[in-house]
Amino acid sequence: MAVLFTGTSELPAGMLNSRELKYLEKTTEKEPEAVIFRYPEFMFFYKINKDGSYGAQAEQSRKAGACLYPLLKKEKSGSIQILNYGQKRWTLPFIEGLFLATYSFNKYKKEKESRVLSELFILDDSISNAELQEIQILTDAVFFARDLVNEPVITLTANRLAEEIRKVGDTVGFTTEILGKQKIEALKMGGLLAVNKGSVDPPTFSILEWNPANKVNAHPLVLAGKGVVFDTGGLSLKPTLRSMDYMKSDMSGAAVVAAVLSAVARANIPLHIIGLIPATDNRPVGNALTPGDIITMHDGSTVEIKNTDAEGRLLLADALSYAKKYNPALVIDIATLTGTAEMITGDVGIAAMGNTPRYLASLKNSGEETWERIVELPLWEEFSESLKSPVADLSNLGSREGQASIAGKFLEHFTGYPWIHLDIAGSAFIRENKGYRREGGTGTGTRLLFHFLKNTDFNSNHAT
């Protein structure tokens, strides 16, 4: 049995004897959780602090669910009854945290870690089957993103990434068109091609589309995800320790875009959504891109390469300029783009910037609801100064200071429509379990964007 409560006075008379009640009160003075064993069963209690926003309370509920799962594993209990003696809206995030905590990436282990959870008995008549189904859909989507991020580049090349996405699309209902190197060359995507120069594997540009008959938006929404399946930094080589060693995660933005499309399709969200995923690895071998090179982008802009480790913005810039063909209502790009963003948000948040206050406000609200919170950074015109080049239209680097905003300013050059940039460099990959966010790829951005897409009014075209 799992019980959410805010104080022992809420618990029904007779649930606990006097000794158990005294133990619960004393234990939850210091820690939110307490366990009372009545062998062969147990009672798990989690005290929710009802001060603060609903988003903060919901996050406590998710943490409670994540806290319960190790106990279920230890006791080898696959069945749990959930009782909520607090606010009705706490049960769903509790289940969400419980589900998300069951993830493990054990594909390459001889001993597989099985998930023990098999049955839930929910005593909360405010919850619908549709809401429970949506939690399962979102959990599956987050796990899909995590699996892609955790897969090493030795097996997940750009082409394999595209094929894995196509397989899921074929199953859930969105379409996937995969453009190979010849087509990318025909489209003159100079950013993607330049980053790919040091690789033995060809690049891909995947176009995902969910276009339901009952769509409510006249102009499509476009999600663009950075798909660098491994980033060595190129000739501007990264250090190996705590920098390059987890760079299989540099395609986290691409994984999130694919995961969101899968969730939207399964939930049958009535929105026309397009996903754009430029993908390659970034290597320092062969005819690799060199500092000082000048490349021509998809939109015709020329870029002087100052640092080959500032490669993600080159891929995304081609995707953003390509998005113009759709006359989009909104474009959101998501990427592990800058170390500066990680310094700002740590591993718990997302740095955002854009030119559309209305949609940014809605996205921030979704961030509070899902606890994938957003810090909005400025896109002041002064940030453009350091992107000036004496030999090209732009430099790909700019100054060290304000680099997250400078990278955003670089991307802004290739837009011309309502646009938001999300930098998930800090939260896309973590090195140890933190509640329902498991070690490795986190899938951060999946729940955020699904909530945003589901709950935002897109009928006002080209809103600012």
Report d(CA 298, CA 400) in Å as an integer. 26
373 is catalytic: no
CA distance 422 to 397: 18
pLDDT of residue 264: 98
Which candidate in 50, 115, 160, 238 is catalytic? 238
Dist CA 45 CA 335 (whole Å): 38
Average pLDDT over residues 179-204: 98
pTM of the model: 0.96
Dist. CA 165–CA 207, nearest whole Å: 10
Q: What percent of the chain lies above the pLDDT cut of 70?
A: 99
Q: Tell me how far apart the alpha carbons of residues 42 and 36 are, in angstroms, rounded to a whole number.
A: 6
* Strand partners for 123: 83
Which token pair is 200?
């033995």
Q: How many CA atoms lie within 13 A of 429 on its CB side?
A: 24
Give strand pairing partners of 26: none
Q: Which two tokens stand for residue 381?
A: 């015109």
Q: What is the four-CA torsion angle of 402, 403, 405, 408, rounded to 10 degrees?
A: 170
Going by C-beta distance under 8 Å and a sequence separation of 6 or more, which residues neighbour residue 180?
A: 202, 204
279 Cβ neighbours under 8 A, 6+ residues apart: 158, 161, 162, 203, 204, 205, 206, 227, 228, 229, 251, 254, 315
Average pLDDT across the chain, whole number: 95
Q: Are 410 and 301 in contact (CB under 8 A)?
A: no
Mean pLDDT of 200-206: 98
Which pLDDT value is given to residue 460? 58
Q: Tell me the H-state helices in 208-324.
A: 252-267, 312-322
- From the list 204, 206, 338, the residue with the least C-alpha distance to 281 is 204
What is the spatial distance between Cα 359 and Cα 420, in angstroms, rounded to a whole number? Answer: 8
Lowest mean pLDDT among 241-255, 314-328, 332-346, 350-364: 241-255
What is residue 112's predicted lDDT score, i.e. its pLDDT?
82
Domain ranges of the chain: 2-102, 137-455
Give residue 464's pLDDT. 47
Mean pLDDT confidence for 421-435 = 97
HSE (CB half, 13 Å, CA atoms) of 417?
22
Per the CB < 8 A criterion, the answer to whether 231 and 338 are in contact is no
In b/e form, how buried is each residue of 286-299, taking b as 16+ CB within 10 angstroms?
Answer: eebbeeebebbbbb
Residue 463, pLDDT above cutoff 50: no
Among candidates 209, 205, 165, which has minimal Cα distance to 188? 205
Q: Which of 47, 166, 313, 373 is catalytic?
A: 313
Mean pLDDT calculated for residue range 97-116: 90
- pLDDT value of position 126: 87
> In angstroms, rounded to a whole number, what is the distance separating the alpha carbons of residues 68 and 99?
10
Residue 242's pLDDT band (boundaries 50, 70, 90)?
Answer: confident
Evaluate whether 191 touches 314 at the Cβ level (below 8 Å).
yes
| Residue 441: both structure tokens together | 């790829």
**Which top CATH class is 137-455?**
alpha beta
Closest residue by Cα to residue 370 from 305, 301, 436? 436
Bridge partners of 296, per DSSP, are 302
- Other beta carbons within 10 angstroms of residue 53's beta carbon come to 10
Backbone angles phi, psi at 422, to 5 degrees: -115, 120
pLDDT in tens, 134-175: 999 999 999 999 999 999 999 999 999 999 999 999 999 999
> What pLDDT is stored for residue 115 in this prediction?
76
- Spatial separation of the C-alpha atoms in residues 83 and 123, rounded to whole Å: 5
